[in-house]
């Protein structure tokens, strides 16, 4: 989540990387069979409560919450099967404007992941979304053959 303009404490325009808490959204497939709109509602509710909390939080509280969330996610990773979803969409990283001396990048991506993870980011033109999906081999085979996924990809 891009916290710039949402946090009570100012965030330097020159600060890079993640700043602020991650948050977990849990659902158990054994207990419920979520539909896409159910998942979107969970994401929306959690995002809204985070945005409501941020303007009231001090830098110290944000830092403490960030550390707590990292510890929680680390423990969850050790104990259970789950997939991390993150979105860089509309995040002003300006990666395509960066020039380190050999010209602007033709293409940019996140680094690979050793855990099951989905990263969404705007494409270079800004009119589409790229999904970087890292899954275990057997799950990737299922994912690549999923008809709903195939209908939305190019």
Question: Which sign does the torsion angle of CA 130, 71, 79, 37 carry?
Answer: negative
The residues facing 85 across adjacent strands are 118
Judge whether residue 7 has pLDDT over 80.
Answer: no
Reported as type and span, the H/E element at residue 133 is strand 129-134
Instruction: Confirm if 18 and 73 have CB atoms less than 8 A apart.
Output: no
The pTM of the full predicted model, rounded to 2 decimals, is 0.57
Strand segments (E) across 94-154 = 117-122, 129-134
CA-angle at 129, arms to 124 and 134, nearest 5°: 110
Least-confidence region, from 11-25, 49-63, 94-108, 125-139: 11-25
Judge whether residue 38 has pLDDT over 60.
Answer: yes
Instruction: Confirm if 62 and 7 have CB atoms less than 8 A apart.
Output: yes
- Measured CA to CA in angstroms, residue 150 lies from 93, 126, 140, 153 at distances of 29, 21, 13, 5
Domain residue ranges in the chain: 1-80, 83-154
Residue 49 has φ and ψ, to the nearest 5°, of -65, -35
Looking only at the bridges linking them, the beta strands covering 129-134 and 84-87 are: unpaired
Radius of gyration of the chain (CA): 17
Q: Which residue has the tokens 């990737």?
A: 140
Q: What is the pLDDT of residue 115?
A: 76
């Amino acid at each position: 989540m891009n916290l710039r303009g949402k946090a009570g404490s100012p965030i330097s325009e020159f600060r890079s990387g993640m700043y602020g808490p991650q948050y977990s959204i849990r659902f158990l497939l054994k207990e419920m069979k979520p539909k896409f709109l159910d998942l979107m509602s969970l994401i929306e509710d959690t995002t809204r409560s985070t945005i409501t909390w941020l303007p009231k939080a001090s830098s110290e509280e944000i830092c403490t919450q960030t550390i707590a969330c990292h510890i929680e996610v680390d423990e969850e990773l050790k104990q259970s099967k789950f997939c991390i979803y993150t979105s860089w969409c509309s995040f002003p990283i300006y990666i395509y404007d960066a020039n380190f001396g050999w010209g602007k990048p033709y293409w940019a991506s996140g680094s690979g992941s050793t855990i099951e993870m989905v990263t969404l980011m705007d494409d270079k033109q800004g009119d589409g979304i790229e999904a970087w999906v890292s899954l275990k081999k057997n799950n990737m085979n299922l994912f690549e053959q999923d008809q709903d996924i195939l209908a939305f990809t190019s």
